[in-house]
Copies of this chain bind each other. A is one copy, B any other.
């Protein structure tokens, strides 16, 4: 009755070496955000199918692992479509659960509520290298804080975390959805085209200025609008000066306070930063999800060649779930990517405890075994990790194996 050894398609077993890194990163995340006043929360992995299919999740809604109804509720004979068979599914992100959680418990939570969520999510994506169908997400959100204190603290906490993990010279790109819209209006794009124009702009770092120009013209937008847009990107700089220039240029198209807030965030983060990174104003930054309403940001890491996290303000989303308006700003950290980067650079988890292995003769008397156990208890109390093992015939091989697991200090106890 030997069974399949491999995990289900697209999911993976985690070996001790990777697990050690994961546990370390999880610990550091909880500790760091804890220092900033965030509280850990958790929701079930299973959510109502209605919450998962209400159009807030975009493409992810096509990738849901759906759960069959149980017992009498499952009526296979009369079922006409999939929907008749399922009542729930595995969550595909942590935003839907956060919204439901907040709606369910707002009275019991602080205001503003600073939440840290870490948990697995599932997406039935086409399996591909480095992407799995079960993966850990890490979301940090501040609900109920309308001021840019939220943005600043989120960026400060997240960059502090990355610094503690040994990352350096990464870049935080920041933009504002309102500035993007003002820019589109100023250039003369029609309002119904904004989202499609933004999708093309978002490709700037992949296809370059010429690629964007080509794609916009190819899509049939007015040459004048495209020219205005590109000339803006060519002249604007990636710093506070760039923000001021944008404000002047976009004039009445830009909502009051937008540029000033961006300026404050940029200079404040620069002034108080505790890690080695660069923060830039990037007017081409779009961020995929349509629900953002204000500042948006992304962490770019050269070594990874892409984003290892990002987020922004989404003041209108929670309300759609809960029925009452709640402003919100959040960050999602690419936990799996960070672990991958650490694995690739052979990251060694800093461990306070030294490791000792005790090898005990198979024929040791109970009294002799007791001696060993008492000594082990003493060493553990003194802070050592002690692995006790029965001595094998092939002692050389056994010691090599232990050394591979970090047990270099090996003591032998004969009968």
User: Known: A152-B373, A385-B34. Contact between A16 and B39, CB under 8 A?
Assistant: yes
Q: How distant is A374 from chain B, measured CB to nearest CB, in Å?
A: 6
Partner of A124, one of B70, B114, B369: B70
How does the 8 Å CB contact mask read for A200-217 relative to B, with 1 for contact and 0 for none?
A: 000000000000000000
For residue A68, CB closer than 8 A to chain B, the reply is yes
| Interface members, chain A 335-392 (any B CB < 8 Å) | 353, 357, 360, 362, 366, 369-370, 373-374, 377, 380-381, 384-390
Q: Which residues of chain B are within 8 angstroms of A7 by Cβ–Cβ distance?
A: 43-44, 47, 100, 104
For residue A110, CB closer than 8 A to chain B, the reply is yes
How does the 8 Å CB contact mask read for A113-125 relative to B, with 1 for contact and 0 for none?
A: 0100000101010
A385 and B67: CB pair below 8 A? no
Stretch at the interface among A19-27, A174-182, A287-295: A19-27
A19 and B2: CB pair below 8 A? no
A16 to B23, CA, bound (A): 20
For residue A59, CB closer than 8 A to chain B, the reply is no
Stretch at the interface among A82-90, A220-228, A277-285: A82-90
Stretch at the interface among A189-197, A243-251, A267-275, A304-312: A267-275
User: Known: A46-B11, A401-B110. Contact between A145 and B16, CB under 8 A?
Assistant: no
Q: Which residues of chain B are within 8 angstroms of A76 by Cβ–Cβ distance?
A: 79, 81-82, 85
A390 and B44: CB pair below 8 A? no
A149 and B360: CB pair below 8 A? yes
Q: Which residues of chain B are within 8 angstroms of A381 by Cβ–Cβ distance?
A: 274
Give the secondary structure class of A's interface: mixed
Q: How distant is A404 from chain B, measured CB to nearest CB, in Å?
A: 8
Q: How distant is A14 from chain B, measured CB to nearest CB, in Å?
A: 4
A274 and B13: CB pair below 8 A? no
A82 to B77, CA, bound (A): 11
A-B contacts besides A35-B380, A149-B388, 16 pairs, CB < 8 Å: A3-B50, A4-B50, A4-B100, A8-B48, A13-B101, A19-B39, A19-B40, A23-B30, A35-B385, A44-B134, A45-B120, A46-B90, A149-B369, A153-B388, A264-B369, A268-B373
Q: How distant is A316 from chain B, measured CB to nearest CB, in Å?
A: 12
For residue A147, CB closer than 8 A to chain B, the reply is yes
Q: Which residues of chain B are within 8 angstroms of A66 by Cβ–Cβ distance?
A: 67-68, 70
Q: How distant is A343 from chain B, measured CB to nearest CB, in Å?
A: 15
For residue A322, CB closer than 8 A to chain B, the reply is yes
Partner of A36, one of B39, B81, B386: B386
Total chain A interface residues with beta-carbon distance under 8 A:
106
A54 to B90, CA, bound (A): 24
B48 and A68: CB pair below 8 A? no
Between A and B, 16 residue pairs with Cβ closer than 8 Å are: A1-B320, A3-B51, A3-B100, A4-B48, A5-B100, A8-B87, A35-B353, A35-B380, A35-B384, A35-B385, A37-B388, A45-B45, A65-B70, A68-B85, A149-B369, A268-B373
User: Known: A3-B48, A110-B401, A374-B272. Contact between A68 and B68, CB under 8 A?
Assistant: yes
Q: Which residues of chain B are within 8 angstroms of A362 by Cβ–Cβ distance?
A: 147
A101 to B16, CA, bound (A): 12
Q: Name, among A35, A39, A120, the residue most crowded by chain B CB atoms within 10 Å (CB to CB).
A: A35
Q: Which residues of chain B are within 8 angstroms of A110 by Cβ–Cβ distance?
A: 401-402, 405
How does the 8 Å CB contact mask read for A99-116 relative to B, with 1 for contact and 0 for none?
A: 011011100111110100
B389 and A112: CB pair below 8 A? yes
B370 and A54: CB pair below 8 A? no
Q: How distant is A370 from chain B, measured CB to nearest CB, in Å?
A: 6
For residue A156, CB closer than 8 A to chain B, the reply is yes
B19 and A42: CB pair below 8 A? yes
A268 to B372, CA, bound (A): 11
